Amino acid sequence: MEVQVNIGFEQLVKIVKMLPKRRLNQLLAEIEREKATEEAKSNLEELLLNGPVRGNQKAIRNYR
């Protein structure tokens, strides 16, 4: 069963502030995990887009 609820940001902040310390720590850990995953994806994308390219050097020179 799944339920979707639309709440405002201020209401969400109030709910988070009411969380017990253990649950708040769980929430913060999950947020950090998501943040680290996004940063890792961004770093990989940057490496792939800006990294060295190996290929047919003659074809590359002719393209220029």
Query: Could you tell me the pTM of the whole model?
Result: 0.53
pLDDT tens, 5-56?
Answer: 899 999 999 999 999 999 999 999 999 988 888 877 787 777 777 766 666 6
Q: Can you tell me the distance from the alpha carbon of 11 to that of 32, in angstroms, rounded to the nearest whole number? A: 22
Q: What's the pLDDT at 58? A: 67
Tokens of residue 49, six digits: 């887009």
3-state secondary structure of 63: helix
Q: What's the pLDDT at 56? A: 64
